[in-house]
């Protein structure tokens, strides 16, 4: 136990300040926002991650959001185990046809207000896999998408910017 405490103390705090939320910067990153969200999400966002057909690259970067450097929980963003606990579905990958119903059901199980974020190039525009006998392509081909965060995969910083933008978007409720 002492070794664990000592190691933690010696490592110290590595968490970095959040990325600057400059609109031009976000524009450059090509993040599109389709809908405004209710201000009441600010301070707490429950995210259910759904891999609809990714290569697992996006998952690795989403995992990184929970590492000490990015520590996404300090913004009130936490990942939940069930869609029933979620405000947002964070969907990666093309929607493989074998995952189509699972994705639809997961969305249906998410109580309103609910939003869908498509993370990664495959989720945004079909990536390397497009539409085929096996794949329905971009997430928006199957369910409505409120925010797109492109990248192959998007870096944790790009994901964080996208999520923070989403959290602080002013505007009416849906």
Partner 1 sequence: MNRFDWLSGFLARLEDEHVMVGPKAVRELSPAQVLEIDPENWGRVAEVAAAEGYRWSAIWADEHAQEMRLFSCFENEGDYLMLETGLALDSKLALPSQAPFYPAADRMERHIHDLLGIEFAEAPDTRRWTRHQAWDEDCFPLRRKASPDGAPPARTPADGDYPFERIAGSGVYEIPVGPVHAGIIEPGHFRFQAVGEEVLNLEQHLGYVHRGVEKRAVGRDADGLLKLAARVSGDSAVAHAWAACQAIERAWKIVPSRRALQLRGLLAERERIANHIGDIGAICNDVGFAFAQMQCSRLREEIQRRNAELFGHRLLMDVLVVGGVTVDLDVEAIAQLRADMQALSVEASRLFDVLNDQPALEDRLLTTGRLSHDSARELGCTGYVGKASGCGFDVRSNNPYAPYDQLAIEPVVHEQGDVAARVRVRMKEVLVSLEWMDRLLGGLADGPVRIEATPHSAPCEGLGVVDGWRGETLAYVRFDEDGRVARYFPRDPSWHTWPALERIVMGNIVPDFPVCNKSVNGSYAGHDL
Nearer to partner 1, 53 or 150 (CB): 53
Nearer to partner 1, 33 or 80 (CB): 80
Query: How is residue 97 written in tokens?
Result: 């046809």
- Counting contacts by CB under 8 A, is residue 111 touching partner 1? no
By CB under 8 A, name the one of 55, 117, 164, 165 that touches partner 1. Answer: 55
Give the orientation angle of helix 57-64 with respect to helix 156-168, to 10 degrees. Answer: 70
Paired with 49 in beta bridges are 90
CA distance 158 to 21: 11
CA distance 72 to 160: 7
Window contacting partner 1 (CB under 8 A); options: 19-27, 29-37, 93-101, 165-173: 93-101
- Counting contacts by CB under 8 A, is residue 73 touching partner 1? no
Q: Are strands 147-149 and 32-33 parallel, antiparallel or unpaired?
A: antiparallel
By CB under 8 A, name the one of 63, 78, 84, 108 that touches partner 1. Answer: 63
CA 144 to chain centre: 15
By CB under 8 A, name the one of 76, 105, 144, 171 that touches partner 1. Answer: 105
By CB under 8 A, name the one of 29, 33, 42, 102 that touches partner 1. Answer: 102
- Counting contacts by CB under 8 A, is residue 82 touching partner 1? yes
């Amino acid at each position: 136990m002492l070794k664990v405490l000592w190691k933690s103390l010696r490592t110290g705090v590595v968490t970095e300040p959040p990325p600057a939320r400059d609109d031009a910067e976000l524009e450059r990153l090509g993040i599109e926002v389709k809908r405004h969200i209710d201000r009441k999400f600010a301070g707490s966002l429950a995210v259910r991650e759904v891999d609809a057909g990714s290569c697992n690259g996006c998952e690795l970067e989403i995992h990184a959001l929970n590492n000490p450097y990015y520590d996404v929980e300090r913004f009130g963003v936490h990942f939940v185990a069930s869609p029933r606990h979620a405000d947002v579905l964070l969907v990666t990958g093309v929607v493989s046809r074998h995952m189509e119903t699972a994705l639809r059901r997961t969305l249906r199980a998410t109580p309103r207000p609910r939003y869908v974020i498509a993370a990664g190039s495959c989720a945004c525009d079909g990536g390397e896999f497009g539409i085929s006998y096996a794949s329905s392509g971009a997430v928006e081909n199957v369910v409505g998408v409120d925010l797109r965060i492109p990248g192959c995969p998007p870096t944790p910083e790009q994901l964080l910017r996208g999520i923070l933008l989403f959290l602080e978007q002013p505007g009416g409720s849906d």
